[in-house]
Amino acid sequence: MASHGFWFTQGGENPAGNGSQSPNTPRAWCQAAAQKFTGGIGSKLCALLNVGEAEKASQAPVKTGDESPAENCGCNKPCDCSKAPACFSDLYSTDLLPALDGDAKTMNFLQEVVDILLAYIVESFDRSTKVIDFHYPNELLQRNNWELSDEPETLDDILISCRATLKYAIKTAHPRYFNQLSTGLDMVGLAADWLTSTANTNMFTYEVAPVFVLLEYVTLKKMREIIGWQDGRGDGIFSPGKAATECEACFNSSSEHFWSCSMSVGVSDDTQGGAISNMYAMLLARYKMFPEVKEKGMSSAPRLVAFTSEHSHFSIKKGAAALGIGTESVICIKADERGKMIPSDLERRIIEAKQKGCVPFFVSATAGTTVYGAFDPLIAIADICKKHDVWMHVDGAWGGSLLMSRKHRWKLNGVERANSMTWNPHKMMAVPLQCSALLVREEGLMQSCNQMQACYLFQQDKHYDLSYDTGDKALQCGRHVDIFKLWLMWRAKPQHTNVCFWYLPPGVRSLEDKVEKMKRLHKVAPVIKARMMEYGTTMVSYQPQGDKVNFFRMVISNPAASFEDIDFLIEEIERLGQDL
């Protein structure tokens, strides 16, 4: 194991340790921290102890004075940190800005919070810490006072709540967290997100978010150029979240213990973003063909049908249900053994639908399906869409980011012929949650589809170019600022692998009866996952797919993960599952 971590030492590396990942002594820890770092960093690391102590702290305030020298670092331990003492136990939120003379108190308070966060960040990347300190819901409810009372709490209590919240949070930045598509924590993205929170505005109008609106404009244009739309023309929006996934050779290789595949880009989960983007696309496709539905509803249109691969993300059906189209009008096209949509089946079903008097209006091809991570053949699909005059959408929530890769972008060849595309930089590009874009080729359509021209908001007599007031083209009214983190990260850096596999415990391996073997194998992953969460050492996702029983699907989008971490995961699965 890498000796990356330096204060939480484990087992043999820490003879004085109690085995539960605590430092030798607080004083020694603080001294070590102070030696390692110049500036005020030592005191920040000191706050790490607070995280470790959150549980205790959340049960009983520990500012006892007796134990602490006059000048302590706020970590409730006697130490050499030079941090000014802070007394938050007498302060309330009303003492902070905009209170008169609230400046210093506000800065002290926010700095204390940042110290907690910095310590959490460093801890998150430390392999010797747990990924998760798991507790069942009822147990977690009882481990801290989470209730909302009618009395205000002191800032000290607020800080304790922050520590407790982080103590029980999943360390999504941990090198051994493989559970979701969105793993890892990018430091530039995080900085951008802190700035976004501080700017606290809305993507509604240029008036209230001039820079962010411009950055969205610049970034969407760049994304459309990358898609290949002429001069980057078109439209787009960053919308509130879903997702969708390549695992091109899944389930076919084998070793003694594992059936696995190693892919260039892989299995998505789907845990965020994109669902709304996909719904936007479906809404635009319907509006393009039957604009009267906006005013008159679906009764003014014939029966519309949409097409998507049987492996596509469930958001397509969710969208159809919400839009009044109905899930039964989403026709699932067969996928080949690698999970790619079969174009001939698409065309057959389109013709069939027409013969039944239905109107095909929307094809959603997937660039990176949810489980296998397959890329549908976009060129063949584009040909069919053109021939039958159907809107072509590409759900690239997961795989869209491959457009940024010279080596892999061929997988999306044909995307430039799509009418719209979902692309979630918060997944493969590791932008902090959430960041999901819908790109649209036709200019002006989003505006006319969604606008309601509320005169109290989009005053037409403003003194600047109103094309920058993007609010009325959104389905929701206001939008969170999701652009800055992507933009700033893009400025800072202009990578992936996946594995889908089963673990066959010795007891299962030896079974001859195939039906019984699959039945037993289906139960292996859930048990291992449950044990894994209780140990808290690593996290990976599992699920069944079609006729395939529960298997692990691993995404390595976390830049912190090393080969050793993958080995660790494999060994951990074997350790936790060998008795099954």
Q: Of 151 and 389, which has the nearer Cβ to a copy of itself?
A: 151
d(CA 331, CA 519): 30
Nearest distance in Å: CB 37, a copy of itself: 5
Q: What is the footprint of a copy of itself within residues 125-144 (CB under 8 A)?
A: 125, 134-138, 140-141
Nearest distance in Å: CB 505, a copy of itself: 16
**DSSP string covering 1-61, please?**
------SS--GGG-TT--SSS--S-HHHHHHHHHHH--TTHHHHHHHHHHHHTHHHHHHS-
Residue 149 interacts with a copy of itself (CB under 8 A): yes or no: yes
d(CA 245, CA 124): 26
325-354 burial code (b ≥16 CB/10 A, e <16): beeebbbbbebeebbbbbbebbbebbeebe
Q: Of 69 and 344, which has the nearer Cβ to a copy of itself?
A: 69
| Residue among 547, 533, 260, 280 at smallest CA distance from 423 | 280
Candidates 1, 230, 252, 296: give the one binding a copy of itself (CB under 8 A). Answer: 296
Sign of the torsion formed by the C-alpha atoms of 460, 462, 467 and 471: negative
Candidates 1, 16, 28, 195: give the one binding a copy of itself (CB under 8 A). Answer: 195
Candidates 93, 252, 253, 254: give the one binding a copy of itself (CB under 8 A). Answer: 93
Residue 69 interacts with a copy of itself (CB under 8 A): yes or no: no
Q: Which region, judged by CB under 8 A, interacts with a copy of itself, from 16-24, 51-59, 198-206, 572-580?
A: 198-206
391-396/359-366 β-pairing: parallel
Q: Which region, judged by CB under 8 A, interacts with a copy of itself, from 229-237, 251-259, 383-391, 479-487?
A: 479-487
Q: Of 125 and 259, which has the nearer Cβ to a copy of itself?
A: 125
Q: Which region, judged by CB under 8 A, interacts with a copy of itself, from 8-16, 230-238, 346-354, 454-462?
A: 454-462
434-453 footprint of a copy of itself as x/- string (CB under 8 A): x---------------x-x-
CA 361 and chain centroid, separation: 30
Residue 111 interacts with a copy of itself (CB under 8 A): yes or no: yes
Residues near 202 by beta carbon (within 8 Å), at least 6 away in sequence: 208, 209, 478, 479, 480, 481
d(CA 245, CA 339): 10
Q: Which region, judged by CB under 8 A, interacts with a copy of itself, from 152-160, 228-236, 337-345, 346-354?
A: 152-160
Candidates 38, 255, 355, 510: give the one binding a copy of itself (CB under 8 A). Answer: 38
User: Are 506 and 213 within 8 A, CB to CB?
Assistant: no
**What are the Cα distances from residue 439, in Å, to 23, 391, 542?**
50, 13, 31
386-425 footprint of a copy of itself as x/- string (CB under 8 A): ----------------------------------------
Residue 411, phi-psi category: left (phi > 0), alpha (psi -120 to 50), beta (remainder): alpha
Nearest distance in Å: CB 382, a copy of itself: 26
Q: What is the footprint of a copy of itself within residues 208-247 (CB under 8 A)?
A: 208-215, 218-219, 222, 240-243
Residue 172 interacts with a copy of itself (CB under 8 A): yes or no: yes
513-552 footprint of a copy of itself as x/- string (CB under 8 A): ----------x--x--xx--x-------xxxxx----x--
| Residue among 285, 247, 245, 284 at smallest CA distance from 264 | 247
Residue 329 interacts with a copy of itself (CB under 8 A): yes or no: yes
Q: Of 14 and 271, which has the nearer Cβ to a copy of itself?
A: 271
Candidates 32, 249, 323, 342: give the one binding a copy of itself (CB under 8 A). Answer: 323
Residue 193 interacts with a copy of itself (CB under 8 A): yes or no: yes
Nearest distance in Å: CB 415, a copy of itself: 19
Direct distance between the N- and C-terminal alpha carbons of the chain, in angstroms, rounded to an integer: 27
Q: Of 471 and 577, which has the nearer Cβ to a copy of itself?
A: 471
d(CA 53, CA 47): 10
Q: Which region, judged by CB under 8 A, interacts with a copy of itself, from 181-189, 344-352, 378-386, 411-419?
A: 181-189
Nearest distance in Å: CB 571, a copy of itself: 21
Structure tokens, 236: 């787009």
**What are the Cα distances from residue 518, in Å, to 57, 249, 505, 509, 544?**
48, 20, 12, 10, 11
